[in-house]
Each structure stands twice: as C-alpha cells, then as structure tokens.
C-alpha cells in the first residue's frame, strides 16, 4: 500500500457486540463480514474464539468463504500468568480459529498490572513477549492492541513504552494504541502518538478509540494526523458503554477531507447503505442525525437555508451528499420560506401554476396547520395533497358522510373491532362494514372494501408503518395526538399525517390522505361530484 493509505480495521463483530442490545448470530456476523469485504475493508475482527461457542462457530462458517479484500482476525488476550503459551487454552483456541491474523491485547497501564492482573511488571512484559512470539512462530500476522495505552502512558510513560517494545521485539506486525476508557482529548492523542512514533515506525502504528468523552472519531483522526496508519472502530459506533469510534465518519473524513485513501471511490458511495445494513441486522434504529449517512444529515428546514442551497449547495452542505450515498432533503414546515415550497413542488413533480402568490398561500396554510400539531417533515404525501388542493389540481375521489367504530373486548378473547362507513363517490353512495383486529385496522378494511368497486387499483397499496405521537403529555389521555402512516405500492413509498384529540380520528385523517394520494398520483379520479 502507498504511504498515504490508511488501513481500516473493523471490530463490529467483536467489540461492537459488547454494546448494550447488540447481539448477532454467527450467521448474521458472516453476512456483515461479507459486506465489509465487498466494500474493501482491510481487516475484519470476527470475535474472541476462546470466550464463547458462537464466535467459534462464526470462524467455522467463515472457513468455507473466500474473502477478496479483507483479512479475518481472531481476538484474544496474552497468555495467562505462569502458563506457557503452548499450554494456554485461550491461545490454542485462537489457533483453532484458523485465521491469517490474530489480534492480542495486553496490559499497558501499571494500575491494571498490579490491581487487575495482580502480577509483577516484569511478568506482564514476559506475557506480552511470549504470546506474540508464539503466534508469530505459528505463522500468524500479529496485531498487538496496547490496552489503556494513553492512560498508562500518562501514568508511567517508561513502562508503557516497555510493553510496546516487548511486543515489537517479539515480532508484532502492528502496534495499536488504545484509548480504552475513552477519556483522552485529541491534543493528548496527537502528542502521545507523535512521541510514540519516535520509537515505533509510523507504518506499524494504529489507533483504537472509545467514545466515552464523545471524541472517539476526533481522537482517531488526530492519531492519523500524527502518523498512525491503522484505524480500528465499528460501524455506527456500536460498542460497550458509549461505543467505539464510528468508522463511517472516520472513513468519510479521512478520504474526503484529509486525502488519506482508505477505500476505492465506489465504496465510499456505499457508506450510507453499509450503515443502514448493519443497523437493520442489529435491529437498532439509525439516528437521523448520524453524520454523513443519517436521514437528516443533508436535510434543510429553514427557509433561508433552502434558498441558499438552491443557489449553491456548498452554502449549507460540507460535501456533496451523493459522495457517501446520501441525498439532499428539503423539509416543509412553519420555518419554511417561499423557496422551500417551490423546491418541494418541483421535487414532488407538481406545478404551482401561474399564480405567483401560490407559494405564499401554501406556506400560510402549512404554518396554520403546524400550529395545530401537524408536521410535514415526514409526510410528503399529505404535503403533495395540500399543494394540489391549494392550486386547484385536486378533485376529491370520495367524500366521507360518516363512520362508526365498535371495539369489543372480554376476559377470554382478544380485542376485536367492527367499522361501518358511508362515503360518496360522485353521485353514488356506498355503505360498507368490515372487521379488524383493532379500530384502525377495521376502518382501513372498510374503506378499502368501499373503494374497491370504484378504484380496483386500491389493492396495489398497503400500509407498512403506523406511528402515534402524543403532542401534549400534560393533558394525559385527553392530549392531542399526531398519527403518521407510511404506505407503499409497486412504485413508491409515501407518508401522510393526521392530528386530533381522538386517536381514531387522527388515524382516519392520515388514512384518507394515504388513499387520496394513491388515487391522485395515479390520476384515477372519475370526476364524480356529490349532488
């Protein structure tokens, strides 16, 4: 590799699983490893084979797979005190994993040597040296993780350096400085890394940071600036306590800002997909505000901002979002200006017509509705209907005269609901009843049943998400609620919103918008009018 290249070492499958609520099966770990390999990561740490059967099974599964770009690594500790390496069960388990790389951690901080391991400083050095030499003699590439290095260096720099020298003298291929407690500052990491690089060649130096001070990404970048060539971290920052360094923004910053090549350009454009892929497998919702890859990372709400990015995106965007696989989003809200409405209309494929005041009128309606509790940030379907109605581009496909819902529950049977609706489609009336496992499901079924005769295309759409938000918790069960519904057909996904003191009415309003959006976009209105 070229001198300017940075090696990316992923430990999502090991350190990442130490995070709260993070748990991968062996099969899921293999799927993630294969995706990381496809993108071009250099090292993938698969787990600690000496600690649990699941990790050992992952390595057994991985043996049958070919990794094109990444080297698979097994993780473990140095030999036990007073035990020869060839007799240490943990080291033998590492060899059984049959990976080309083994990553070993050892104690650097004299506090840990005395109070945690309860061995002499001399014995700890021997444990490091013997372990690395044993693994090298076994034909492994050995990465040595100097655990608690920065804390150890600040407490006793001479001994911390002795531990590194023990690993180097035994043949370690890479020395990784670990901020295990995650409490160091970037200037400390930079200074100490520079001092270490006077002894350890820069091409053998790596960084492993934790996020307890919220600085794991900054500390990783500081170490690279000081000469480190390997960065360890996890996807989405998964990890114990506050997590590990998040490799997504690290890779993006290194390659797009610091001109340090990590991956090929096409892989950088896969960062958003990778982030979501791992998040989905972990079943941990990805925060919208994640740098670079979050849904809100390039979302603009303030009217001044929207006006500016239309003229020059760099006015409020630090990179082109497409470079990491993301996209620009403009949000319509009570903070919007005319330019936001004009942008959203174009984005939704709608015309504002010849009335130059249309955007101002639409904006006024949005502000009034948001004052009532509506939000159009995540409800483009309802926003599109609002724009069509305000500009005379909408004809009601149906009108409600009434609906009635009955919900039943007894001690022995689950809740059961019945809904009856009466709607008009042009000059024809339809009265329909349906059942459901709850009042909203019953209403959905009844409305579909009523509309199917007039609009058979209704069967193409279905609801995929349903969310209820309490707008004023101090009102208790009398509080106003906002319902967001997400729907899908074979062509697209859209969201609609409804607000009311009644959760059933709020759901009905969002439901009606969802059906109307489908019918409106397909231009299936029959131009009927209620007499």
11 occurs within a structural domain: yes
29 occurs within a structural domain: yes
Could you say which of 243, 263, 283 is where a domain stops? 263
Three-state SS at 363: helix
What is the mean pLDDT of the segment spanning 467-489?
80
Three-state SS at 409: coil
DSSP 8-state secondary structure symbol assigned to residue 223: H
Could you say which of 263, 279, 304 is where a domain stops? 263
Predicted local confidence at residue 529, as pLDDT: 38
- Between these two residues, 340 and 229, which has the higher pLDDT value? 229
- Average pLDDT, whole number, for the chain? 89
Res 389 pLDDT > 90: no
Confidence of residue 525 (pLDDT cuts 50, 70, 90): very low
- Residue 63 and residue 212 in one domain: yes
Confidence of residue 341 (pLDDT cuts 50, 70, 90): confident
Which range among 225-239, 423-437, 440-454 has the greatest average pLDDT? 225-239
Confidence of residue 371 (pLDDT cuts 50, 70, 90): confident
How many helices and strands in the chain, by DSSP H and E? 18, 16
Confidence of residue 381 (pLDDT cuts 50, 70, 90): confident
Res 142 pLDDT > 50: yes
Q: Following CA atoms 129, 131, 135, 140 in sequence, which dihedral angle do they give, to the nearest 10 degrees?
A: -70
Query: Do 362 and 386 touch, CB atoms closer than 8 A?
Result: yes
User: What number of other Cβ atoms are within 10 A of residue 21's Cβ?
Assistant: 8
283 occurs within a structural domain: no
% the chain with pLDDT above 70: 95
Residues 107, 111, 113, 118, CA torsion sign: negative
Res 248 pLDDT > 70: yes
Predicted local confidence at residue 530, as pLDDT: 39
Confidence of residue 301 (pLDDT cuts 50, 70, 90): confident
Query: Do 65 and 32 touch, CB atoms closer than 8 A?
Result: no
Confidence of residue 477 (pLDDT cuts 50, 70, 90): low
Predicted local confidence at residue 528, as pLDDT: 41
> Is 163 exposed, middle or buried, given 0-12, 13-18 or 19+ CB atoms closer than 10 A?
buried
Confidence of residue 99 (pLDDT cuts 50, 70, 90): very high
> Is 527 exposed, middle or buried, given 0-12, 13-18 or 19+ CB atoms closer than 10 A?
exposed
Q: Which of 119-123, 150-154, 295-299 has the lowest mean pLDDT?
A: 295-299
> Is 96 exposed, middle or buried, given 0-12, 13-18 or 19+ CB atoms closer than 10 A?
middle
Residue 52 parent element (H or E): none
CATH number of the CATH domain containing 403: 3.30.160.270
- Between these two residues, 337 and 282, which has the higher pLDDT value? 282
Determine the straight-line distance between the first and last CA of the chain, rounded to whole angstroms: 77
In whole angstroms, what is the distance from residue 173 CA to residue 230 CA?
11
Query: Do 124 and 113 touch, CB atoms closer than 8 A?
Result: yes
Which range among 365-369, 401-405, 468-472 has the greatest average pLDDT? 401-405
Going through 163-322 in order, the beta strands assigned E by DSSP cover 174-179, 205-209, 230-233, 299-300
SS3 content of the chain, % helix, strand, coil (to 5): 45, 20, 35
224 occurs within a structural domain: yes
What is the mean pLDDT of the segment spanning 375-392?
83
Could you say which of 205, 237, 263 is where a domain stops? 263
530 occurs within a structural domain: no
316 occurs within a structural domain: no
> Is 513 exposed, middle or buried, given 0-12, 13-18 or 19+ CB atoms closer than 10 A?
buried
Res 408 pLDDT > 90: no
DSSP 8-state secondary structure symbol assigned to residue 469: E
80 occurs within a structural domain: yes
- Between these two residues, 80 and 307, which has the higher pLDDT value? 80
DSSP class per residue in 54-121: HHHHHHHHHHTS--SSPEEEEEEEPPPTT--GGG-HHHHHHHHTT-SEEEEEEE-SHHHIIIII---H
CATH number of the CATH domain containing 143: 3.20.20.70
Q: Which of 80-84, 242-246, 380-384, 411-415 has the lowest mean pLDDT?
A: 411-415
Angle at 282 between CA 281 and CA 288, to 5 degrees: 95
DSSP class per residue in 168-202: HHTT-SEEEEEETT----HHHHHHHHHHHTTTS-G
Confidence of residue 333 (pLDDT cuts 50, 70, 90): low
In whole angstroms, what is the distance from residue 347 CA to residue 368 CA?
23
State the total domains in the chain. 2
Query: Do 145 and 175 touch, CB atoms closer than 8 A?
Result: no
Containing domain of residue 454, as a range?
399-521
User: What number of other Cβ atoms are within 10 A of residue 432's Cβ?
Assistant: 19
Per-residue H/E/C for 471-495: CCHHHHHHCCEEEEEEEECCCCEEE
357 occurs within a structural domain: no
Res 3 pLDDT > 60: no
What is the mean pLDDT of the segment spanning 174-178?
98
What is the mean pLDDT of the segment spanning 100-119?
92
Q: Which of 256-265, 341-350, 418-427, 480-489 has the lowest mean pLDDT?
A: 341-350
Q: Which of 176-185, 250-259, 403-412, 503-512 has the lowest mean pLDDT?
A: 403-412
Residues 6+ apart with CB under 8 A from 520: 384, 385, 388, 394, 397
Tell me the β-bridge partners of 436.
417
């Amino acid at each position: 590799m070229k001198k300017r290249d940075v090696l990316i070492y992923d430990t999502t499958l090991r350190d990442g699983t130490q995070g709260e609520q993070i748990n991968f099966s062996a099969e899921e770990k293999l799927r993630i490893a294969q995706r990381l390999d496809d993108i071009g990561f250099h090292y993938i740490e698969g787990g600690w084979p000496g600690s649990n059967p699941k990790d050992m099974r992952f390595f057994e599964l991985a043996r049958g797979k070919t990794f094109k770009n990444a080297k698979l690594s097994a993780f473990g500790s140095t030999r036990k005190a007073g035990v020869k390496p060839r007799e240490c069960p943990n080291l033998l388990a590492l060899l059984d994993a049959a990976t080309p790389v083994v990553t070993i951690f050892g104690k650097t901080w004299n506090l840990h040597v005395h109070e945690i391991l309860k061995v002499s400083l001399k014995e700890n050095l021997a444990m490091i040296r013997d372990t690395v030499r044993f693994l090298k003699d076994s034909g492994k590439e050995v990465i040595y993780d100097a655990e608690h290095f920065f804390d150890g260096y600040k407490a006793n720099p001479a001994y911390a350096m002795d531990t590194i020298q023990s690993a180097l003298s035994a043949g370690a291929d890479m020395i990784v400085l670990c901020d295990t407690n995650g409490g160091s500052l970037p200037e400390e990491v930079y200074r100490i890394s520079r001092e270490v690089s006077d002894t350890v060649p820069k091409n053998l130096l790596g960084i492993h940071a934790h996020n307890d001070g919220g600085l794991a990404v900054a500390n990783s970048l500081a170490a690279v600036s000081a000469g480190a060539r390997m960065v360890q971290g996890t996807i989405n920052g998964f990890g114990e306590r506050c997590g590990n360094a998040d490799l997504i923004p690290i890779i993006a910053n290194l390659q797009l800002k610091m001109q340090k090549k990590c991956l090929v350009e096409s892989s950088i454009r896969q960062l958003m997909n990778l982030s979501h892929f791992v998040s989905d497998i972990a079943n941990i919702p990805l925060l919208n505000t994640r740098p670079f890859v979050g849904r809100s990372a390039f979302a603009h709400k303030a009217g001044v901002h929207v006006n500016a990015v239309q003229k020059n995106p760099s006015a409020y965007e630090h990179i082109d979002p497409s470079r990491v696989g993301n996209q620009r989003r403009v949000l319509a809200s009570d903070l919007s200006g005319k330019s936001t409405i004009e942008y959203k209309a174009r984005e939704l494929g709608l015309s504002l017509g010849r009335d130059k005041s249309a955007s101002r009128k639409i904006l006024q309606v949005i502000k009034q509705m948001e004052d009532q509790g509506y939000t159009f940030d995540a409800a483009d379907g309802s926003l599109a209907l609002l724009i069509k109605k305000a500009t005379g581009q909408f004809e009601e496909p149906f009108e409600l005269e009434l609906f009635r819902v009955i919900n039943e529950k007894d001690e022995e049977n689950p809740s059961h609901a019945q809904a009856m609706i009466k709607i008009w489609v042009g000059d024809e009336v339809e009265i329909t009843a349906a059942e459901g496992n709850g009042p909203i499901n019953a209403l959905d079924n009844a409305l579909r049943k009523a509309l199917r005769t007039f609009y058979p295309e209704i069967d193409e759409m279905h609801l995929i998400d349903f969310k209820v938000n309490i707008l004023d918790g101090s009102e208790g069960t009398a509080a106003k609620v906002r319902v967001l519904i997400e729907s899908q057909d074979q062509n697209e996904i859209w969201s609609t919103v409804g607000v009311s003191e009644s959760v059933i009415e709020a759901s009905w309003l969002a439901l009606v918008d969802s059906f109307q959006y489908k019918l409106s976009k397909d231009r299936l209105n029959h131009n009927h009018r209620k007499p």
